[in-house]
Chain A
Amino acid sequence: MIEPLWEIFVRSRRGLSHTHVGSLHAPDATMALRNARDVYTRRQEGVSIWVVRASDITASSPDEKDEFFDPAGDKVYRHPTFYQVPEGVEHL
């Protein structure tokens, strides 16, 4: 039996966001959560787990890479590098 694939996201500690750690197979969301606990948090890697059915994720296609990402390449003005930082400003 081929079980659905689930993408697993783990929050390593409070204040950080959930990060993708891998995927696994499970018959349903409840079991996916438990499998994720066993596979991805057995060395205290996390305090919270999200599971998302892989088929529910809409991903950008490698074929669209050029029009998706290349146009941002020559727009250096989008980076906040043209501001003069006043002297004496800390923590910026």
Chain B
Amino acid sequence: MTDLFVYSLRLGDDALISAQRTAEWIAAAPQLEEDVALGNIGLDQLGQARTLLQYAGTVEGAGRSEDDLAYFRDEREFLNLQLCELPNGDFAHAMARLLYFATYQQLLYEELLKSSDEMLSGVAGKAVKEVAYHVDHATQWVLRLGDGTEESHQRMQAGLDALWPYTAEMFSSDELVQRLDVAVDPSTLQDEWTRRVTAVIDESTCGRPESSYQHSGGREGRHTEHMGYLLAELQHVARSHPGATW
């Protein structure tokens, strides 16, 4: 496995698994307008995933398509962040995750624009505008829920707190990203991410989450107990009817 293949999988899997979780909100969001908003966001993420997985397949050179990589890999072969696979929880949890993840993606894609790999910079070029809107959407809701009623404030705080221990994984560097000159070392994004996210949290009147323990392992294919169920739902039709078309 080449570094570029693995790197494309990491970014593609983040987007794919986020898209799957986000899509679960369709017809379950607090209002119709939010169904559509989250549907749009999930589809943006899915679009990023398709391009990245297709590219990973090309780089690998073993003839695997985006569908092969999405539907016929097993849990340990997925390299997404654990943050992306966690169950949705309530709406405040979803907005906390979107704030954390989209802000990370925004900073990542802004840097990836400068990559000398044309495919990666191309994906970033299209995605930066999409994720800027995702950040805005999450920000608007975090502010309103945090600075809303007593219950919405308490739920927003709970969401921010519960997901905080999964944020450090976004910025963990390793030999691969240091070796691969077309990649962005995510550790360089952490300061700016913290600045932007805490600015929103402060304005929302919520407290800054603290946690001494931080989860990790997604980039090595180690996942939470929720990942298997997510993949079962994502993959079962494709595996029950291999090669089916409609």
Q: What residues make up the interface of A, taking CB atoms closer than 8 Å to B?
A: 3, 24-28, 30-31, 34-35, 38-39, 42
Contact = CB atoms under 8 A, between A and B. Distances in A.
Interface of B: 31-34, 36-37, 40, 136-137, 140, 144
Nearest to A42: B40
A11 B33 CA distance: 20
A31 B140 CA distance: 8
B37 A38 contact: yes
A30 B37 CA distance: 14
A34 B37 contact: yes
Contacts of A27: 144
A35 B29 CA distance: 13
Contact of A39 (B36, B137, B140): B36
B99 to A, nearest CB: 15
Nearest to B41: A38
7 contacts: A27-B144, A31-B144, A34-B140, A35-B33, A35-B37, A38-B36, A38-B40
B62 to A, nearest CB: 36
Contacts of B32: 24-25
A42 B189 CA distance: 31
A25 B33 contact: yes
Nearest to A1: B30
Nearest to A3: B31
Contacts of A38: 33, 36-37, 40
Given A34-B136, A34-B137, A39 B144 contact: no
Contact of A24 (B33, B136, B140): B33
A38 B34 CA distance: 9
A7 to B, nearest CB: 14
A16 B80 CA distance: 46
Contacts of A35: 33-34, 36-37
A30 B33 contact: no
B33 A26 contact: yes
A37 to B, nearest CB: 8
B163 to A, nearest CB: 23
